[in-house]
């Protein structure tokens, strides 16, 4: 029956291009780490030193995704891994990899960049085609990106910064029927998101006023 809720697949969305990659299976677990860097004050010589705070570190997200194409004899590298690797490649016009966001139903969205991908292939066809793999994705939280300079290069006077924080909010599964959360003009929100129905598609970047 249509009233029975269907499981929502988690996904990673490229905010520079709009490309989405849905997981084959939802992860069994994920971890979010937040470090608070306290350093020993230079002038401290006591057993219980004075600690000083300098800068905040971003959160880190780590998830393990399983891709299984054995039943359909699907090459998991071509179907899933290669598209995921595109999220780590440099965008020529931007001179940096893309900003991405992790979305999964009512779980808080996590926006940032992919810091590393680690792929373990665990099943193959007789011709060597990989049909099962586990990918560990590690992300670092951010809402603004810029490009650094390499050693020996001169730093530009006005280094561009791409700010994703003001481009709109990301609709989660909980926002599907709540366009009013984004603006008092519900119809305008739905139209601006590009949907053809009265629901906001989860993962949609919704333009907001102000």
Chain centroid to CA 35 = 19
The pLDDT of residue 6: 39
Contact by Cβ (8 Å): 110, 139: yes
The pLDDT of residue 209: 53
Q: What kind and span of H or E run contains 82?
A: helix 82-86
In angstroms, the first-to-last Cα distance of the chain is 41
Contact by Cβ (8 Å): 52, 38: yes
CA distance 180 to 95: 37
The pLDDT of residue 46: 67
The pLDDT of residue 207: 60
Q: What is the pLDDT along the chain (210 residues), one digit of tens a residue?
A: 343 343 478 889 899 998 989 888 899 999 999 998 888 877 766 677 888 888 888 999 999 999 999 999 999 999 999 999 999 999 999 999 999 989 887 788 889 999 999 999 999 999 999 999 999 999 999 988 988 776 666 666 667 788 887 655 677 777 778 878 777 777 777 776 667 788 877 766 676 554
CA distance 98 to 117: 14
Pick from 37, 42, 12: which is nearest to 26 by CA? 12
The pLDDT of residue 3: 39
Q: Name, in order, each residue with C-beta under 8 angstroms of 152's C-beta and a sequence gap of 6 or more.
A: none
The pLDDT of residue 89: 96
Beta strands in the chain (DSSP E): 11-14, 20-22, 30-33, 38-40, 51-53, 60-68, 100-104, 107-124, 130-141, 144-146, 161-163, 169-170, 205-206
The pLDDT of residue 68: 94
Contact by Cβ (8 Å): 37, 57: yes
Distances (CA, A) of 2 to 55, 100, 113, 177, 198: 50, 32, 36, 16, 17
**pTM of this prediction exceeds 0.95:** no
The pLDDT of residue 41: 78
């Amino acid at each position: 029956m249509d009233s029975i809720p269907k499981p929502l697949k988690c996904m990673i969305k490229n905010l520079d291009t709009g490309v989405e990659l849905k997981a084959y299976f939802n992860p069994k677990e994920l971890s979010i780490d937040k470090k608070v860097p306290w350093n020993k004050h230079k002038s401290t010589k006591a057993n219980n030193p004075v600690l000083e705070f300098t800068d905040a570190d971003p959160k880190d997200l780590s998830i393990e995704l399983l891709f299984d194409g054995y039943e359909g004899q699907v090459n998991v590298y071509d179907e899933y891994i290669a598209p995921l690797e595109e999220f780590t490649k440099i965008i020529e016009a931007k001179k940096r990899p893309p900003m991405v966001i992790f979305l999964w139903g009512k779980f808080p969205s996590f926006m940032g960049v992919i810091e590393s991908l680690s792929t373990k292939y665990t099943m193959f066809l007789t011709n060597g085609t990989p049909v099962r793999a586990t990918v560990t994705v590690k992300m670092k939280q951010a809402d603004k990106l810029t490009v650094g300079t390499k050693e020996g290069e001169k730093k530009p006077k006005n280094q561009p910064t791409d700010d994703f924080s003001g481009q709109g909010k990301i609709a989660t599964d909980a926002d599907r029927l709540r366009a009013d959360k984004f603006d008092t003009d519900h119809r305008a929100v739905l139209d601006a998101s590009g949907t053809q129905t009265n629901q906001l598609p989860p993962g949609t970047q919704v333009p907001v006023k102000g």
